[in-house]
């Protein structure tokens, strides 16, 4: 709220030094917020996270990094995997095929809601709610096995150490009956594209990958950079797909807080209940880790930090 | 769909002549689409519109115009008034006051749905669904009478000829019982800020104002230009409020097609069932009039035209 | 629960003395329950009721009475008026006309829910939820004024002292915006048969009539006796209409507890949040008053008392 | 509708000859209705049924039978198995245990709805919707195998020839993903009492048993007779459980038509999409088979026939 006004004609200093200072302030702001949230506890493994932990990793097009706090701590990627799954589906099945199996609309319902499936549409509303993400995984499950998908994740995050967290995977699988219900519901409507149990198993595995804030900054810069890896110069994913992903992150990326994030921060982002947030700004990738969550399931520290950064660097997509 | 790919390194020619040509192509594309939709018919006055009509009005920061087709035809502003009402509430009651009475989240429900009011939140989800717009009008109804609000609309659209369409107003009022139901529901929850019947009457009047595509281009450029009237140089509304409005237009502006519009066009926009669409691009305001609507209530010609324009001028907010 | 089993071949003694004794036990059982509920408080007038109050009034076909406790205390009839309104509609508009405007199905939703109106049917599901009762009143509002309806209520309850409780009526009217919303919603769907504000005003008045447990026993015996007043021998309402009313009381009469009441008590009944319950057993009318309510809005004392009476007199409709 | 009025003082002739004649008329009435419905087609096996088929089997406490039409045709029991499953749970787990796992309230939603599970209660609303029936089967699945349950069904219907229809079972299983979704949803809420896949498999088998109208008359007379087999005089199930089952049949037995059936017929009944209906009147059991269904899933011929029978024999539970 304190970020509502600028002085007329304010033009931010976007030198590397200035960015460093602003991120440092943002980091401190974030740290002060951690006590206002708490780690997810729907599976025991997540509840073990240190609620005070916080880290920001920044990476720009030039390959320069700024990092503060817990940027090497491993945590599970959770819902942020939905972004990568969508990217894989766009890359390997294309735009038309992907979006003939899932819609593009925000829902305003909880991320694991099945309400609209039974009242508004047989196809899930978007790829970032559970129903939509499971649907997207069903597009991939008969093309790739887990190892192949893991390779894709590692490349897209530029982190070869990403691996399955077996404990979280087991926990997810044991408590994942609602996701199984969603998969069978999609199957019953004739829209799921692979076996429900196989699909959900791959979905659980892809949610249970151990990443770091640094991995997410890697993911962020690929998206911020039109799909190009800034170190290799190679296009990992086509620019028009990246645009599509970022538009959906803007409208649906932050659970039930997506609209407010769009107003207050205005940078395409996706969060996960493991505490991670990826942001893809104007030529800037951000990865954040703060497991203390608010009621909507977003990292409280990440919100505070990114609101500060967006304001002082004028990164809001609709900044005038 | 045909607009999914660019050649690498494509940089559009944004000279005035080039823009003129692109808009001309877009106009022709739009004209070809009109037969795929039909005018709204929930009130007889709207059904009288000429389904083949189409017009585009463009206005840039320099005050230059490009106009094709039916840009002087008067039609009722309908839901686009929700943008102006929100602007008035932000300007006269402020950000904090406004958003303590209405949320900022997209719903995925129909524009006149009351479902979430009874299941998810006493406050309407956003200012661009009917419930939220009525709520915003209740913030204004005890501050301004209709004449004062009309003055505000005229200024914001730079069009002193905007006036009440008495026939449409009467029709809206006669058939507006669902909106009365919404107002009483909000009252019953203790959130409506003025008398329900008075609020709804003002709401109907503000929906029944006769505008043109040109008026909407005026509204568009004020939003595109950070709230500044390009002719007078005066700030009509503060830049941070404009940013807020545009973020909400992006997530919630095009009814149940908002998410897909965000992917395919990517410019903050708001449509009305009278056939109007306002778009606020990068220093460019667009007003469109095409009363043939699709099932979601958006002008079919406007969608086709703006997708072409956004693509060829690379106006998508998340273009890489 | 304690009433689940009989000894084989148990045949109750239905002499007047035996009934007297059983009702006396039931009265004591009911008194012990009053502390487990509390009076409705959505309007201040109702909250003033004495939570410890309890009374049972019994009246049989022979005109004999058994009365214990607070049987002369006046309280407002509230939702029990829905039974009388339905009776009036059946009597004066007929079966076909009435049920072409309201359905006959239980909902499983809250009594003031509007969910099904927006998702399942334009017609209200049954006459005993608010939407259905308002709909029924709209069938009467252009035929009868309040005084005429009051005359009908007095006759059907055999109580000429029934009168409007002005304080409750005023309170109902002041806090009745949800019912106004329902009326406008029905109007918007084209199903309400009279002016919404006029309909709701008559509805509020009919909910605000002061009755006693004795009045409800009168209503009960008319229903138990096929519509015939046992004192005058006159048929007030045709037997087939009475059958219809009782079937609906069985499936929908006790709010969200109707199904369980049907299993445990098994006598057609209707309750009101004023604390009243009317029961129409086999040739027996019961009126109960116990303002301490459970969460479903039913009198806790009345449930306990009627379960005892039903069990010991074997009044359950599906007793084998 | 034609059955709304009696002449005053009408007392039906309930001699066996009179009953025979009335059932014969009812049979002819039913036959005339068959063209107004059509067999269920959600699985191919059901669609093969002869839409013109119709049969009524009557059995009274004295063991006397009246039978007309297709009373020996085998068809699958489908939802009528829900009555037998509830009986088994009441008999073997008791009232308290059963109803601590499922509620007793009608829903007004479709039989396979999951809406209320996600909005109103973790426990299914009643044992006669799919969610509630699956829940009841989960109470039995770890106590009995299919063969044991089949034995129970045969005894309760007095028909030792009841057997699994393998084709229908296979079809049910292949198309039963919505029921699997329901089972996993119940599991995710922690309420399902056995493995979801095992539970649903048993549920499918019990829906796929081949019965006849005569089998259903057997089931009907056991319920009509307080749980006692009229041939052996043995109590198969306790009278208080029978009362409970019949109360639930009255409020929830005929899908979304239960309320209207209660008004127009007024006899506890349960239907299945195989075309069967069981009715438990006053000392009379009826089994009907008419695969032509209305939109609610009930046999059109059975409705017409039972309305006639109920009227002429005055069997309505709330007949005055």
> Which pair of tokens denotes residue A89?
């589906």
- The minimal CB distance from A258 to the residues B105, B226, B257 is found for B105
Is residue C245 pLDDT above 60, yes or no? yes
Which residues 31-90 in chain B show a CB within 8 A of chain A?
none
Mutation for testing the B interface, residue in C107, C180, C186 having most B CBs under 10 Å: C180
Distance CA A199, CA C257 (A): 41
What CATH number is given for D81-207 in this structure? 3.40.710.10
Flag if D184 and A184 touch (Cβ within 8 Å). Answer: yes
Mean pLDDT of B13-23: 96
The CATH number of C16-76+211-312, from 3.40.718.10, 3.30.420.40, 3.40.710.10, 3.40.50.620, is: 3.40.710.10
> Above pLDDT 90, what percent of chain A?
90
- The minimal CB distance from B181 to the residues C113, C175, C188 is found for C188
What are the tens digits of pLDDT across the range B250-298? 999 999 999 999 999 999 999 999 999 999 998 999 999 999 999 999 9
Q: How many residues does chain A have?
A: 320
pLDDT of res. C114 = 87
Flag if C260 and D105 touch (Cβ within 8 Å). Answer: yes
CA dihedral B98, B104, B110, B112 (to 10 degrees): -10
Show the 3-state SS of C44-79.
Answer: HHHHCCCCCCCEEEEEECCCCEEEEECCCCCEECHH
C182 contact residues in B (CB cutoff 8 A): 181
Identify the closest residue of chain B to C173 by CA–CA distance.
Answer: B188
pLDDT of res. D119 = 83
Distance from CA of B38 to the nearest CA of C (A): 23
- Burial class for D232, CB neighbours closer than 10 Å (0-12, 13-18, 19+): exposed
Mean pLDDT of C136-145: 98
**Domains of chain A: which residue ranges?**
16-78+209-312, 80-207
Please give the biggest Cα pair distance in chain B.
Answer: 57
- Which residues 6+ apart lie within 8 Å of B227 measured at CB? A320, B235, B236, B237, B238, B239, B241, B242
- Which residues 6+ apart lie within 8 Å of D235 measured at CB? D226, D227, D228, D229
Given pLDDT bands bounded at 50, 70 and 90, which one contains residue C200?
very high
**Which range (A143-147, A212-216, C34-38, C233-237) has the least confidence?**
C233-237
pLDDT of res. D215 = 98
pLDDT of res. C2 = 62
Is residue D202 pLDDT above 80, yes or no? yes
Beta strands (DSSP E) in A166-253 are 209-211
CB of C301 closer than 8 Å to CB of C34:
yes
Sheet-wide strand order for D163-164:
D75-76, D209-211, D163-164
Flag if A104 and B262 touch (Cβ within 8 Å). Answer: yes
Chains with ≥3 CB–CB distances under 8 Å to D: A, C
Flag if A182 and D177 touch (Cβ within 8 Å). Answer: no
Mean pLDDT of D78-106: 98
Distance from CA of B93 to the nearest CA of A (A): 14
pLDDT of res. D45 = 87
Two domains, one topology: A16-78+209-312 and A80-207: yes
The CATH number of D16-78+210-312, from 3.50.50.60, 3.20.20.70, 3.40.640.10, 3.40.710.10, is: 3.40.710.10
CA dihedral D110, D111, D113, D119 (to 10 degrees): 90
Mean pLDDT of C266-286: 97
Is residue D4 pLDDT above 60, yes or no? no
- Burial class for B269, CB neighbours closer than 10 Å (0-12, 13-18, 19+): buried
Distance from CA of D182 to the nearest CA of A (A): 7
A115 contact residues in D (CB cutoff 8 A): 115, 118-119
> Above pLDDT 90, what percent of chain B?
90
Is residue A244 pLDDT above 60, yes or no? yes
A4 contact residues in B (CB cutoff 8 A): 95, 240
Q: Which of D27, D169, D203, D289 is catalytic?
A: D203
Q: How many CB atoms lie within 10 A of CB D161?
A: 13
Mean pLDDT of D175-191: 97
Flag if A185 and D178 touch (Cβ within 8 Å). Answer: yes
Exposure string for B29-43, b = 16+ CB within 10 A, e = fewer: bbbebbeebebbeeb
**D278 included as an active-site residue:** no
Helix (H, G, I), strand (E, B) or coil at A60: strand
What are the tens digits of pLDDT across the range B98-149? 999 999 999 988 888 888 888 889 999 999 999 999 999 999 999 999 999 9
Mean pLDDT of chain B: 95
C10 contact residues in D (CB cutoff 8 A): none
Mean pLDDT of D227-256: 95
A182 contact residues in D (CB cutoff 8 A): 181
What CATH number is given for B16-78+209-312 in this structure? 3.40.710.10
- The minimal CB distance from C251 to the residues D106, D109, D125 is found for D106
Helix (H, G, I), strand (E, B) or coil at B272: coil
pLDDT of res. D21 = 97
- The minimal CB distance from B239 to the residues A103, A106, A320 is found for A320
**D79 included as an active-site residue:** yes
Residues of A with active-site annotation: 79, 82, 203, 255, 273
**What topology does CATH give the domain A80-207?**
Beta-lactamase (3.40.710)
What are the tens digits of pLDDT across the range B164-207? 999 999 999 999 999 999 999 999 999 999 999 999 999 999 99
- The minimal CB distance from C114 to the residues B114, B175, B187 is found for B114
pLDDT of res. D2 = 62
A129 contact residues in B (CB cutoff 8 A): none
Is residue D141 pLDDT above 80, yes or no? yes
> Above pLDDT 70, what percent of chain A?
97
Flag if B184 and C184 touch (Cβ within 8 Å). Answer: yes
The interface predicted TM-score of the complex, written ipTM, equals: 0.96
**Which range (A269-278, B9-18, B33-42, C310-319) has the least confidence?**
B9-18
Which residues 188-217 in chain C show a CB within 8 A of chain B?
188, 196
pLDDT of res. C4 = 57
pTM for this prediction: 0.95
Is residue B44 pLDDT above 90, yes or no? no
**D10 included as an active-site residue:** no
Flag if C109 and D103 touch (Cβ within 8 Å). Answer: no
pLDDT of res. C6 = 66
pLDDT of res. A7 = 64
What is the Cα gyration radius of chain C? 18
- Which residues 6+ apart lie within 8 Å of C67 measured at CB? C55, C56, C57, C58, C213, C214
Residues of C with active-site annotation: 79, 82, 203, 255, 273
CB of D211 closer than 8 Å to CB of D270:
no
pLDDT of res. D24 = 98
- The minimal CB distance from A114 to the residues D118, D187, D196 is found for D118
Mean pLDDT of chain D: 95
**Bigger pLDDT: C157 vs B111:** C157
What are the tens digits of pLDDT across the range A26-82? 999 999 999 999 999 988 889 999 999 999 999 999 999 999 999 999 999 999 999
Distance from CA of A208 to the nearest CA of B (A): 28
Which residues 104-143 in chain A show a CB within 8 A of chain B?
104-109, 116, 120, 125-126
Flag if A256 and B95 touch (Cβ within 8 Å). Answer: no
Beta strands (DSSP E) in chain A are 55-60, 65-69, 75-76, 163-164, 209-211, 269-271, 276-280, 284-289
Flag if A238 and B5 touch (Cβ within 8 Å). Answer: yes
Mean pLDDT of C282-296: 96
Distance from CA of A105 to the nearest CA of B (A): 4
Return phi, psi of residue C284, to 5°: -130, 130
D247 contact residues in C (CB cutoff 8 A): 259, 262-263, 266, 316-318
CB of C262 closer than 8 Å to CB of C244:
no
Chains with ≥3 CB–CB distances under 8 Å to C: B, D
pLDDT of res. B42 = 86
Given pLDDT bands bounded at 50, 70 and 90, which one contains residue A8?
low
* Chain pair C-D, CB pairs under 8 angstroms: 147
C95 contact residues in D (CB cutoff 8 A): 1, 4
Is residue D8 pLDDT above 80, yes or no? no
Sheet-wide strand order for A276-280:
A65-69, A55-60, A284-289, A276-280, A269-271
Domain C79-207 in CATH 3.40.710.10: yes
Mean pLDDT of A197-209: 98
Mean pLDDT of D227-250: 95
Mean pLDDT of chain C: 95
Flag if C103 and D260 touch (Cβ within 8 Å). Answer: yes
């Amino acid at each position: 709220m304190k970020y509502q006004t600028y002085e007329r004609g304010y033009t931010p200093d976007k030198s590397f030094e200035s960015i460093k200072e602003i991120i440092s302030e943002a980091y401190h702001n974030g740290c002060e917020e951690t006590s206002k949230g708490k780690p997810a506890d729907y599976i025991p493994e997540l509840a073990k996270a240190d609620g005070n932990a916080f880290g920001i990793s920044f990476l720009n097009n030039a390959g320069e990094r700024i990092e503060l706090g817990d940027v090497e701590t491993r945590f599970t990627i959770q819902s942020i995997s939905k972004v990568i799954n969508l990217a894989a589906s766009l890359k390997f099945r294309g735009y038309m095929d992907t979006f003939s199996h899932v819609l593009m609309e925000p829902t305003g319902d909880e991320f694991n809601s099945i309400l609209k499936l039974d009242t508004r549409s047989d196809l899930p509303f978007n790829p970032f709610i559970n129903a939509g993400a499971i649907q997207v995984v069903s597009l991939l499950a008969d093309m790739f096995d887990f190892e192949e998908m893991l390779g894709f994740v590692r490349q897209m995050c530029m982190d070869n150490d990403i691996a399955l967290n077996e404990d979280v995977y087991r926990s997810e699988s044991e408590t994942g009956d609602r996701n199984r219900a969603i998969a069978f519901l999609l199957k019953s409507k004739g829209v799921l594209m692979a076996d429900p149990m196989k699909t959900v198993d791959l979905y659980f595995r892809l949610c249970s990958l151990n990443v770091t804030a640094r991995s997410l900054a890697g993911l962020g810069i690929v998206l911020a950079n039109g799909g190009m890896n800034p170190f290799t110069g190679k296009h990992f994913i086509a620019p028009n797909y990246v645009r599509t992903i970022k538009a959906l992150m803007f409208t649906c990326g932050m659970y039930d807080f997506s609209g407010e994030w769009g107003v207050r921060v205005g940078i395409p982002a996706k969060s996960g209940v493991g505490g991670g947030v990826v942001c893809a700004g104007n030529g800037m990738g951000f990865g954040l880790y703060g497991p203390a969550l608010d009621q909507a399931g977003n990292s409280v520290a990440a919100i505070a930090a990114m609101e500060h950064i967006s304001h002082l660097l004028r990164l809001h997509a609709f900044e005038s």
